[in-house]
Amino acid sequence: MFKNMIVYRIAPQWQVELTQVEEALAKAPFLECGATQEKSLGWVPPRGDAHGPLAESVGGQWILRFMVETKVLPGSVLARRVKEKAERIEQETGRKPGKKESKELKDEAKLDLLPMAFTKQGSMWVWIDPAARLLVLDTSAQGRADEVVTLLVEALPGLSVSLINTQTSPQAAMSHWLKEQEPPVGFTVDRECELKSATEEKAVVRYARHPLDIEEVQAHIDAGKLPTKLALTWDDRVSFMLTEGLQIKKVAFLDTVFEGTKADDGGFDTDVAIATGELSKLIPDLIEALGGEAESGVASAAQAVAAAAAPAGGGLEAAVPAPPRGKDVVGRAVTGPATAPVDTDPDAAPF
């Protein structure tokens, strides 16, 4: 559970009960693909119980599960079927299909093949911490996260979120930690990183299972290469890989987390309690290590809410600036900065 994380901040004006979330998700349950349907998505019971709740609460932490099913239709198979149809038309009419007709043949061929295609399923854990106002998605692919956030915003009225934005960029912080050999308090630098040049050549240097407190690494940074990934451990309890886009990958709970638990202490509630208990402490510590949280779209939304609630003639309106250009407005989702981080490892995502 939560091997990768993309973290969002929830705007303070969003106040709902778990029952309201359940009712909203129930309108979009996951259903398997129909015979000629290429893709299906929706919500499934996180415990895996048939007809179970779509939103679970464990220790005040809300857990959802998003499911996607797609039909696997190889391009070579589709192309062969289109070619067969085109050759049949040429034999019967003596002419080759035009551009428009070829497109129609492709659509026909796809409808012919979809009922016979294999299906592929993938799921994503979704964690809402209502007290800390955090939304955490178990994926490392920004595009997939955007898809789920969009569905949540459509399903849950008033929900506004923004990617966590820190005062210091992860790349600048990682450069400092490696060059000065000064990891932030509570963290240690592990034995894996990736450095990439900003020049046209885009030269990449990767270290795996290798000490990073060496002059060679510092020389690469002095030469202009910037860290895009860095392995860290927090409090000797959780190891992970931090990326330049503030994505948290390869999350692993270390043995100290499980001290005092029995071998048979398992199940959904225990897994959720352990994961959210540790990560709810790691996330704020990591934000602090990156200089604290910068103003985001949801902060602007909060200001707008406060301004709207202020009594007429009061001084609050003048004190609250208008939302900056490109920032959030009340009731509208913000899924991150103007340019989202590029997916650096889409194959590692759950779907």
Mention every residue, 6+ apart, whose C-beta is less than 8 A from residue 155: 24, 25, 27, 28
User: Max Cα separation, the chain?
Assistant: 82
The pLDDT value given to residue 202 = 82
User: pLDDT band for position 341 (50/70/90)?
Assistant: very low
Written as six digits, the tokens of 95 are: 């002419």
Q: In this structure, what are the phi and psi dihedrals at residue 64, rounded to the nearest 5 degrees?
A: -125, 165
The DSSP code for 117 is S
> What gap in Å lies between CA 295 and CA 334, rounded to an integer?
13
Which residue did the predictor score with more confidence, 321 or 109? 109
List the single range of 40-54, 159-173, 333-347 with lowest mean pLDDT.
333-347
The DSSP code for 259 is T
pLDDT in tens, 263-314: 566 699 999 999 999 999 999 999 999 999 997 655 554 444 444 444 444 3
C-alpha Rg value of the chain to the nearest Å: 24
> Is 260 a residue whose pLDDT tops 80?
no
pLDDT in tens, 68-80: 999 988 889 989 9
The pLDDT value given to residue 98 = 87
The pLDDT value given to residue 321 = 35
Q: What is the overall mean pLDDT for the chain?
A: 84
Nearest partner of 244 among 319, 337, 157, judged by Cα: 337
The total of other beta-carbon atoms located within 10 Å of residue 26's CB is 13
